[in-house]
């Protein structure tokens, strides 16, 4: 299995203008990526012409245009090109506290009057401005889990949709959407009160743990849970992201030579779906795997002969297909290189161009 992320380990700490340049580039890439609900986008701004999601909201809150220099630096994971877990948590904590902090602050006119004379008031004024804007953004937690009843199927069985948003260990935001049915059971993993579904912590724990692997393994792991029948598992991953403002050297170890300048920006977004074939009459083409990801291969190709036999048994038993896809967003200078990468891999991938 090839890896999309690569050799550069560690983090980079950005300061001053570089933070804002990075935030601006990252937000522009995300906005151009046209992310669907299969990605961890959170809620979407309906009134802004450009859209704007929870992801972009968090990134904006990390820039000094929003926090007014209250935070001197930004820690970015080089493997993903996204800010570290610590930074996301920082914004989340600020969101949680902003209502209370604003209520405790002196009146804004007092702060404005005294800010020029006293640094303590100056800092409070900046906080007032930052927290006020943050409150308006209304950002939900960046990690979260939700379960919804899709339909009751009679005899106590029901079909559910589980959605888990998570920040990967290296900072890649991802969303796992699993559709599962549960048969009536004495000790069910999912309980229903009215139409409100609730999943046991064990189920969420399992999903949280396996989602960092890949959709197929997640599918198999979930299928191993008693009383569950997995219909599909989709994992949408945003990133890796790399942009000129992040560092001088090209950060990704992709089999392509990117044109690296300060304004260069590339974002890759992948979707993997494992879907059980519910219609036995479909012909072979309809159930065969499809990999349209130039940066990743199916891991069955790397299995030993022994493991492959077991694997084939599992495939026969569960009749599922794997679909992998990836799209890119890049500055104009890097489009050709990315297209060449796709041609070389024999895939057809979208490459959106980020506006200069």
Partner 1 sequence: MAEKQKKTERAADQDEDALEALVNQFADPMSFVRELVQNSIDAGSVEIDVSCEWKPTAGEVGTASIHVDDFGLGMDRNIIETKLTRLFSSDKEGDLTKIGKFGIGFVSVFAIAPDAVCVDTGRGGESWRVLFRRDRSFSLIRLAEPIEGTKIQVIKQMTEPEYRALLPRVRGALHFHCKHVDVALRFSGEPITEAFDLPEALIKERDKSDLSEIVMGILPSQTKPILGFYNRGLTLVERPSDVPHVGCKIQSSYLEHTLSRDSVVQDENYARIMSQRERLLRGPFLRTLMQKLDALLKEGAPPDRVRPYQASLAALVIRGCAAPADCENLAVATSITGLCVCLPELSSAAERGKLVHARAQTPLVDGLIKADGCVCPAWQAPLVAAMYRAGSGPWGASDTPDEDAQNAYAIEQQFVLPLPFHTSDRTLKKRITALCAATQKLLRKSREKAESVAMAQLGYEGSSVRGALSVVMPSGAFSLAPLPRGHDSLDGTLVIDAEHKQLQPLLPLCDREPELAAYTLLKLCLFGQMTAERDSALLTAAMETRWRRMTS
Partner 2 sequence: MAVLCSALPGYPENMKPDSLPSSPEPSASPHREILDHAVRYEGQGLSVQGLETLIDRERSRQNAQVGQLLQLRERNTELQQALSHELLRLRELTEQVLPDKKESGVLGALAKVLPGRRRAPMPRASVEQLLREQYTVSAHRVKEAAEFADRLQVSERELFDEIDGMNQRMIESSKNKAKAASFVRGLMEFQEQAAVQLRRLPSDSVEALQLHADIDRSRRLLAEHATQLQLFHTAVDRLGLLKDSTRMLVDTVAALRGDITQYVMAAGEKLDLVSRQLRAIGTAADATATLIEMKRSLEALNESMNQTTRFVAETQRYFRENLDQLVASLEIYDHETRASLEVNLELSRVADGARVERLVQRALGEGDDPMRSRQHAALRALHAGRDRRGDVT
- Interacting residues toward partner 2 by CB under 8 A: 77, 79, 84-86, 89-90, 92-94, 96-97, 101, 104-106, 118, 120-121, 123-124, 127, 143, 168-170, 201-202, 204-206, 208-210, 212-213, 217, 220-221, 223-226, 299, 303, 307, 310-311, 313-314, 317-318
- C-alpha 258/C-alpha 332 separation (Å) is 11
350 binds partner 1 (CB under 8 A): yes
Residues 221-280 that bind partner 1 (CB under 8 A): 273
DSSP secondary structure string for all residues of 163-198: EEEEE-TTS-EEEEEEEEEE---SS-SEEEETTEEE
Please tell me whether residue 44 binds partner 1 under the rule CB under 8 A: yes
Rounded CA-CA distance 278/287 in Å is 10
Structure tokens at 39: 């990605």
- Under rule CB under 8 A, residue 13 binds partner 1: no
Find the shortest distance in angstroms from Cβ 138 to partner 1. 11
Confirm or reject binding of residue 46 to partner 1 (CB under 8 A): yes
Tokens of 106: 């002196």
Of residues 4, 29, 35, 190, which one binds partner 1 by CB under 8 A? 35
**336 binding partner 1? (CB under 8 A):** no
Binding mask 115-154 for partner 1 (x = CB under 8 A): ---------------------------------xxxx---
Minimum Å gap between C-beta 182 and partner 2 is 14
Give the bridge partners for 343, in sequence order. Answer: none
Comparing CB distances to partner 1, the nearer of 189 and 342 is: 342
| Residue from 196, 201, 209, 332 in contact with partner 1 (CB under 8 A) | 196
Taking the least distance from each CB to partner 1, the nearer of 237 and 349 is 349
3-state secondary structure 263-296: CCEEEEEEEEEEEECCCCCCCHHHHCCEEECCCC
Q: Does 327 bind partner 1 (CB under 8 A)?
A: yes
- Out of 59, 62, 266, 323, the only residue in the binding site for partner 1 (CB under 8 A) is 323
User: At residue 333, what are phi and psi to the nearest 5 degrees?
Assistant: -65, -25
* Residue 297 and residue 291 in contact, taking contact as beta carbons nearer than 8 Å: yes
Token reading at 335: 């489009």
Radius of gyration, alpha carbons of the chain: 23
- CA-based nearest residue to 294, from 251, 240, 255: 255
Whole-number Cα distances in Å, 210 to 154, 164, 339: 30, 11, 32
By DSSP bridging, strand 290-292 and strand 320-330 are parallel
94: partner contacted, choices partner 2, partner 1, none (Cβ within 5-8 A by kind): partner 2
165, interface contact from partner 1, partner 2, none, CB < 5-8 Å by kind: none
| Helix, strand or coil, per DSSP, at residue 221 | helix
Query: What residue ranges bind partner 1 (CB under 8 A)?
Result: 34-38, 41, 43-49, 51-53, 148-151, 161, 194-196, 273, 282, 286, 290-292, 323-325, 327, 347-350
């Amino acid at each position: 299995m090839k890896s999309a992320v690569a050799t550069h380990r560690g983090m980079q700490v950005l300061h001053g203008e570089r933070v804002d340049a990075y935030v601006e580039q990252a937000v522009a890439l995300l906005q151009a990526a046209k992310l669907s609900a299969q990605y961890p986008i959170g809620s979407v701004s309906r009134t802004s012409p450009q859209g704007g999601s929870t992801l972009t909201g968090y990134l904006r809150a990390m820039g000094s245009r929003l926090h007014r220099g209250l935070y001197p630096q930004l820690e970015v994971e080089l493997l993903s090109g996204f800010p570290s877990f610590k930074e996301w948590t920082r914004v989340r904590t600020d969101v949680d506290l902003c209502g209370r902090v604003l209520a405790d602050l002196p009146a804004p006119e007092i702060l404005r009057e005294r800010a020029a004379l006293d640094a303590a008031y100056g800092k409070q004024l900046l906080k007032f401005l930052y927290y006020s804007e943050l409150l308006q953004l209304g950002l939900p937690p960046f990690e979260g889990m939700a379960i919804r009843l899709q339909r009751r199927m009679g005899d106590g069985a029901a079909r559910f949709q589980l959605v888990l948003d998570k920040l990967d260990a290296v900072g890649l935001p991802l969303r796992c959407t699993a559709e599962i049915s549960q048969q009536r059971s004495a000790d069910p993993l999912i309980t229903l009160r009215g139409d409100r579904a609730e999943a046991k912590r064990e189920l969420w724990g399992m999903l949280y743990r396996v989602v960092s692997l890949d959709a197929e393994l997640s599918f198999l792991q979930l299928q191993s849970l008693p009383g569950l029948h997995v219909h599909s598992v989709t994992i949408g991953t945003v990133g890796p992201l790399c942009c000129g403002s992040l560092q001088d050297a090209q950060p990704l170890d992709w089999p392509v030579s990117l044109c690296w300048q300060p304004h260069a920006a590339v974002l890759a977004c992948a979707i993997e779906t494992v879907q059980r074939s519910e219609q036995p009459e479909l012909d072979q083409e309809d159930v065969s795997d499809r990999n349209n990801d130039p940066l990743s291969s199916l891991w069955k190709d790397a299995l030993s002969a022994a493991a492959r036999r077991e694997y084939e048994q599992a495939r026969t038993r569960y009749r599922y297909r794997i679909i992998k896809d990836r799209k890119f967003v890049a500055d104009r200078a890097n489009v050709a290189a990315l297209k060449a990468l796709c041609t070389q891999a024999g895939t057809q991938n979208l490459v959106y161009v980020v506006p200069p």
